Amino acid sequence: MAGTTRPRRGHDLLPHTADVGLGVDAADLPGLFEEAASALTDLLADVAPHVEASTWKAITLEAHDLPGLAYAWLNELIALGDIHHGAVVTAMVERLDGPAQDDADGSWHLVGRAGIRAYGDPGVRALRQAKSATYHGLLVERRGDGWTMRAYLDV
């Protein structure tokens, strides 16, 4: 990619009076969703470097548009963390595709995996509980040469 300007991959938190938002950037859609998972983990937990997952869960999602897929992705990760009392320390998007150009009623699909490590294990401390990601202000859109996501969570 030498010579190509790419938005850096990263995330930060957006202010909200009662809740909190995530702002995420990446060069491509799978990277954007993985970065959003990283943002979520940073919001919810203190995870030391090199902590590895002890439980892996397969994820298969479908939604009728990209924001819907982001809503489903973030909420899947929140639910897995809640059920397993842990932090999602690794999230991988193995496949993310949308409908064909001539298929107006088609869906977006995501296949991936989430690796979880229980709170209380060495290097993993809980910070906050997220109740859910919301549709409020949710956007996933192309920005220049990359992609951006904004999502607000009820915490």
Partner 1 sequence: MTKRIRTLERDHDRAVGRPAVRHPVPGDPPRLERIDEVRWRIPRDQRPDMRVDGLVFADDDLMSNLRGDPALVQVANVATLPGIVGASLAMPDVHWGYGFPIGGVAAVRRDGGVISPGGIGFDINCGVRLIRSDLTHVDLAKHLDRLADALFAAVPSGVGASIGHRLSRAELDGVLRNGARWAVGAGRGWPEDLDRTEEGGNLEGADPDEVSVRAHQRGADQLGTLGSGNHFLELDEVDRIYDPVAAAALGLFEAQVVIFIHCGSRGLGHQVCTDHVAVMDRAMGRYGIEVPDRQLACAPLDSPEGRAYLAAMAAAANFAWANRQSIGDAVRGAFERVLGRGARGLGLDLVYDVSHNIAKFETHRVDGRDVEVCVHRKGATRAFPAGHPDLPAVYREVGQPVFVPGDMGRCSFVAVGAEGSMTESFGSTCHGAGRNMSRHAALRELRGVDVAADLAARGVIVRAERHDLLAEEASIAYKDVTAVVDVAERAGQLRRVARLRPLVVVKG
Binding site for partner 1 (CB under 8 A): 7-8, 10-21, 23, 25, 38-39, 42-44, 46-49, 63-64, 67-68, 71-72, 75, 78-79, 82-83, 85-86, 119, 123, 125-129, 131-139, 143-144, 148, 150, 152, 154-155
3-state SS track over the chain: CCCCCCCCCEEEEEECCCCEEEEEEECCHHHHHHHHHHHHHHHHEEECCCCCCCEEEEEEEEECCHHHHHHHHHHHHHHHHHHHCEEEEEEEEEEEECCCCCCCCCCEEEEEEEEEEECCCCCEEECCCCCEECCCCCEEEEECCEEEEEEEEEC
Q: Quick one: 98 or 123, whose CB is closer to partner 1?
A: 123
Q: Quick one: 94 or 139, whose CB is closer to partner 1?
A: 139
Q: At its nearest, how many Å lie between partner 1 and the CB of residue 95?
A: 21
Q: At its nearest, how many Å lie between partner 1 and the CB of residue 51?
A: 10
